[in-house]
Amino acid sequence: MAEETATLGGGCFWCMEAVYQQMEGVLAVESGYMGGSLANPTYSQVCAGGTGHVEVVQLQFDSTISSFRDILDVFFAIHDPTSLDRQGDDTGVQYRSVIFYHDDAQRQAAERTIRDIEADGIWSAPIVTEVRAAETFYPAENHHRDYFRNHPNQPYCAFVVAPKVRKFREKFAAKMRKEA
């Protein structure tokens, strides 16, 4: 096993967490905040917009099962990397698209993936995803963890999170976690 860490921001962390919890090779997913100036931010402080933090998920994954490129392929499939500071109705700098790399190999892979996606013409607008060095990760409050699993019928989960999970299942069936 080769365990790695990936930290990604692509809109609401509930959406990203729910998808990556389904992915083969992902060992753990934790929602939190990164990239801002305030130590130990709270959800309400981040949502107020003054901290500079992004809602992120931090993944522990086995790169012998799912590579960092696999992680990024899912990332770019489940959010709109051309929307600056927003995903759907969620707006603000905390929802920006960003890859926080943990080493130079991840930085290079992120930059290469963005170039490949732009060359393929998948999106009609330019990709605005930031590629930045990882900073201090601040875990989200407990009630934000496993949110979709714990609240699948909550309206936001039913209308926003569930479609992203369905899209992942349809597009990445081969990368689904094998449940015993």
Number of domains observed in the structure of the chain:
1
Whether 129 is covered by a domain: the verdict is: yes
Does the pLDDT value for residue 5 go beyond 50? yes
**Token duo for residue 171:** 């597009």
Does the pLDDT value for residue 25 go beyond 60? yes
- Distances from the Cα of 141 to the Cαs of 21, 46, 151, in angstroms? 18, 12, 15
**Location of structure tokens 């009630």:** 143
Domain CATH number, residue 132 = 3.30.1060.10
Whether 48 is covered by a domain: the verdict is: yes
pLDDT reported for residue 178: 65
Whether 87 is covered by a domain: the verdict is: yes
Residues catalogued as catalytic: 12
Q: What residues make up the domain containing 10?
A: 3-167
Backbone angles phi, psi at 55, to 5 degrees: -70, 125
The pLDDT tens digits of the residues spanning 80-135 come to 999 999 998 899 999 999 999 999 999 999 999 999 999 998 898 999 999 999 99
Does the pLDDT value for residue 180 go beyond 50? no
- The average confidence (pLDDT) of the chain is 94
Does the pLDDT value for residue 9 go beyond 70? yes
pLDDT reported for residue 144: 94
